[in-house]
């Protein structure tokens, strides 16, 4: 014999004292995730267009939005530190081709001259304003990533004057 389904009438309870479609946990239905400020994805919904986005730092209007809360843009100090590195390695394909062609002729060893550049690491971006400080990491995918970040920081510095 099966027990009656307590939710057969459509009144599913999400949590203590919650009924219907109202969730008993998480963000309210009309709230924006974050710490009381619009995230970059929701900034346009509030009528503000992001001027600059670096990692989790967003410049909107005269504010710098960070996960720790907003900071004033005027007088902000921006810094970056390159913590990436670029290595030259012999790709696996070159090693396999060198072994296969070395058995046929000694010219196969020329495949070992093939090089591939790999960039790993991050660029650390820090901003200080209004007695507060925030740091974020931007992944470095190419050797030019640091120059791109510095270009963005120079733009942020012109906005901070």
15-55 pLDDT, tens digit each: 444 444 444 444 444 444 444 444 555 555 455 788 899 98
User: What does the pLDDT read at residue 48?
Assistant: 74
Give percent of the chain above pLDDT 90: 43
> How high does pLDDT run on average in the chain?
78
Q: Which residue has the higher pLDDT, 122 or 4?
A: 122
Q: Which residues contact 128 (CB under 8 A, 6 or more apart)?
A: 76, 77, 134
pTM higher than 0.75, yes or no? Answer: no
Q: Which residue has the higher pLDDT, 148 or 10?
A: 148
Q: Do residues 23 and 15 touch, judged by C-beta distance below 8 A?
A: yes
- Distance, in Å, from the CA atom of 73 to the CA atom of 80, rounded to the nearest integer, reads 17
| Residue 4: burial class (beta carbons within 10 Å; 0-12, 13-18, 19+) | exposed
85-123 pLDDT, tens digit each: 999 999 999 888 888 887 777 778 888 888 999 999 999
């Amino acid at each position: 014999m099966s027990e009656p389904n307590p939710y057969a009438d459509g009144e599913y309870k999400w949590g203590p004292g919650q009924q219907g479609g109202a969730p008993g946990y998480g963000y309210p239905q009309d709230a924006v995730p974050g710490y009381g400020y619009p995230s970059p994805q929701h900034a346009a919904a509030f009528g503000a267009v992001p001027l600059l986005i670096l990692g989790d730092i967003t410049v909107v209007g005269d504010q710098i939005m960070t996960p720790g809360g907003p900071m004033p843009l005027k007088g902000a100090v921006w810094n970056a530190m390159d913590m990436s590195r670029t290595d030259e390695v012999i790709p696996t394909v070159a090693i396999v081709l060198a072994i296969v062609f070395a058995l046929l002729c000694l010219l196969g060893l020329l495949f070992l001259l093939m090089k591939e550049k790999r960039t790993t690491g991050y660029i650390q971006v820090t901003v200080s304003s209004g007695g507060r400080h925030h740091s974020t990491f931007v992944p470095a995918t190419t050797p030019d990533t640091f120059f791109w970040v510095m270009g963005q920081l120079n733009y942020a510095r012109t906005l901070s004057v």
